[in-house]
Chain A
């Protein structure tokens, strides 16, 4: 798979390294080159061997340079819900990327954009459910 990830935070970098280790072609985009240090942290994962580019994920020219036209999967993982939403909609509607996944912290917005055809995931709802299940003793140990 050819994967483009926007946002090289903890999750973005971790996912990039996992996919890279599995042999996928991965490009990571972030506005701050300092974030790319996370791609090299020693420890649990192999060092990232894909492409890391500095640029704004909601700028169409930047996305083109990052190879969005060849991407099979687009994943938006910046810190801003709205930035992720906009980047995903650019990927889906302008560049017709076959698979678009987007992190949206706000569960209400996540619901709305799921209905609009964006693969939206809310870590807030998932994590809260997980905690609740653990506290109520329903989680697998």
Chain B
């Protein structure tokens, strides 16, 4: 595949290196001449100096034959414009943008950016997983919905109670209860919650805290 990467910072550099390793053809567009030189010295002549938001630079990079464009500069607005210009002017089939502000995800999706990756969210999710006191972990964010994992701690007031005893928010659904040694249970109204249960549930951003409160019984 031919992949154009916008931004030659740390993310762009290691991304290009990994993509080259997988046998793809890669070009990095970077504004800073010094950074371009460093990339060319270390990875071979794969950088082009220029503004990745400008149609002229993108044309020079042969963006019209690119299979994918990945914008990973440190500025959300620059990543957005690079993706939009390459989509609308060069018909790039797949555009991926890095996001700093997770709030921008909805806008980017609305504007046709195929994939957004919020570095802030990714880091936050990994930290959540490592903090044992935090009962709720985000596993996957879908459009408008999300899949979360809620752990039942020993002090939860819901231990020993059946699922039918709780009134769950209407937009939330329990999908699976993961138990130790792979003894997984598909939640039914008479399923009794136990300490250490990891409940996998489909919910929304707005109701996740309510769902957590109901299942943990705070």
Q: Which residues of A contact B (CB under 8 A)?
A: 58-61, 80-83, 85-86, 89-90, 93-94, 106, 108-109, 112, 115-116
Contact = CB atoms under 8 A, between A and B. Distances in A.
Given A93-B110, A94-B107, A109-B55, A58 B77 contact: yes
Interface stretch (B12-20, B78-86, B171-179): B78-86
B1 to A, nearest CB: 25
Given A58-B76, A83-B77, A93 B55 contact: no
A109 B89 CA distance: 10
Given A58-B76, A116-B84, 11 more contacts: A58-B77, A82-B75, A82-B77, A85-B84, A86-B77, A89-B80, A94-B107, A108-B54, A109-B81, A112-B85, A115-B88
B103 A60 contact: yes
Given A109-B55, A112-B88, A82 B81 contact: yes
Chain B interface SS verdict (over half): helix
Contact of A90 (B78, B88, B107): B107
Contacts of A112: 55, 84-85, 88-89
Contacts of A115: 88
B169 to A, nearest CB: 25
Interface size of B as a range: 20 to 34
6 contacts: A59-B103, A80-B77, A86-B107, A109-B81, A112-B85, A112-B89
B53 interface: yes
Contacts of A89: 80, 107, 111
Nearest to B110: A93
A94 B104 CA distance: 10
A85 B80 contact: yes
Contacts of B106: 94
A116 B111 CA distance: 10
Contact of A82 (B55, B78, B89, B103): B78
Contact of A85 (B55, B77, B88, B110): B77
B101 interface: yes
Interface in B36-61: 53-56
B111 A93 contact: yes
Contacts of A61: 103
A59 B103 CA distance: 8
Contact of B88 (A58, A59, A80, A116): A116
A6 B81 CA distance: 18
A27 B49 CA distance: 39
A106 B54 contact: yes
A103 B55 CA distance: 18
Contact of B81 (A86, A93, A94): A86
Contacts of A108: 54-56
Contact of B80 (A59, A60, A82): A82
A112 B81 CA distance: 11
B187 to A, nearest CB: 36
Which 3 A-B residue pairings sit nearest by Cβ, starting from the closest?
Answer: A86-B77, A82-B77, A82-B81
A114 to B, nearest CB: 12
Contacts of B107: 86, 89-90, 93-94
A122 to B, nearest CB: 14
A74 B147 CA distance: 36
Contacts of B81: 81-82, 85-86, 109
B80 A86 contact: yes
